[in-house]
């Protein structure tokens, strides 16, 4: 297949893996430890995708101090129990494998901190397909999607990749907007956690991995 793009970036949660079970269970544990009512399952799913500190602020209404306290409960519990409570979406590994075989540089650009992101890719034997793996910094200083995309592009350039025709693949509006901040278009996948309204601004929308591959490599 002929490469349609010079580099490809993938989101992780909701795009490569259905990580909601592990994340929502860890969130429920966190709220319980804080002595707070546990949000409904539907409310907890809304936390999946954006930076966790943003979700604590925007969805739970926590102050910066409360968010930090919640993070200190959430992070170790997620690494112990939640990170591997996930499944790879059907057909996605085939897409990653095909990209790798095409020699188009492939990068991960996720709002999840890099440590659990790498652990998840290693656990599901997917790390071998990626040229660079970029996530939020473990201290959450770099967590906004635009900052993650910027760092992913920098790392791709450092290995000699041509980033002039890079595309993002993601499932939430913050993927679309974060990539657009660097003039990177997004292909929106509907099997993740985003709503139809979040598709606005993407260059294409797909319902399955089989639909995605021809858009990336034609």
Report the SS3 class of residue 84.
coil
Q: Do 13 and 45 reside in the same domain of the chain?
A: no
Mean pLDDT of 98-110: 96
Q: Do 29 and 118 reside in the same domain of the chain?
A: no
Q: Do 155 and 177 reside in the same domain of the chain?
A: yes
Q: Which of 100, 103, 142, 150 is nearest to 121 (CA)?
A: 100
**pLDDT (tens digit per residue) in 106-148:** 999 999 999 999 999 999 999 999 999 999 987 777 779 999 9
pTM: 0.91
pLDDT (0 to 100) of residue 3: 57
Which domain, by its residues, includes 25?
Answer: 20-82
Mean pLDDT of the chain: 94
pLDDT (0 to 100) of residue 215: 94
**pLDDT (tens digit per residue) in 53-93:** 999 999 999 999 999 999 999 999 999 999 999 999 999 99
Q: Do 73 and 173 reside in the same domain of the chain?
A: no
Joined together, the tokens standing for residue 214 give: 């021809």
Q: Do 40 and 73 reside in the same domain of the chain?
A: yes
Mean pLDDT of 183-208: 97
How far CA 84 is from CA of 13, 113, 174, in Å, comes to 12, 15, 24
pLDDT (0 to 100) of residue 2: 47
Q: Do 167 and 76 reside in the same domain of the chain?
A: no
Confidence of residue 1 (pLDDT cuts 50, 70, 90): very low
CATH code of the domain in which 58 resides? 1.10.150.240
Domain count, the chain: 2
Question: Which of 82, 97, 129 is the last residue in one of the domains?
Answer: 82
Q: Do 14 and 29 reside in the same domain of the chain?
A: no
1: in domain: no
Long-range contacts of 126-130 (CB under 8 A, 24+ apart): 126/16, 126/88, 126/93, 126/96, 128/100, 129/96, 129/97, 129/99, 129/100, 130/96, 130/106
């Amino acid at each position: 297949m002929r490469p349609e793009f010079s580099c490809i970036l993938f989101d992780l949660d909701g795009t490569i893996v259905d990580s909601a079970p592990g994340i929502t269970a860890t969130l429920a544990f966190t709220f319980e430890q804080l002595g707070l009512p546990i949000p409904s399952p539907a409310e907890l799913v809304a936390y999946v995708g954006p930076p966790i500190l943003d979700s604590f602020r925007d969805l739970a209404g926590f102050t910066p101090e409360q968010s930090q306290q919640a993070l200190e409960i959430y992070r170790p519990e997620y690494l112990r129990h939640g990170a591997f409570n996930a499944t790879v979406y059907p057909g996605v590994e085939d897409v990653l494998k095909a990209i790798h075989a095409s020699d188009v540089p492939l990068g991960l650009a996720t709002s999840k901190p890099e440590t659990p992101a790498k652990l998840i890719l290693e656990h599901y034997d997917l790390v071998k397909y990626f040229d660079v793996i970029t996530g939020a910094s473990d201290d959450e200083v770099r967590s906004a999607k635009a900052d993650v995309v910027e760092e992913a592009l920098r790392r791709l350039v450092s290995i000699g990749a041509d980033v002039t025709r890079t595309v993002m693949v993601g499932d939430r509006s913050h993927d679309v907007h974060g990539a657009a901040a660097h003039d990177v278009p997004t292909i929106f996948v509907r099997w993740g956690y985003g709503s139809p309204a979040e598709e606005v601004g993407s260059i294409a929308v797909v319902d399955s991995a089989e639909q995605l591959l021809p858009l990336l490599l034609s």
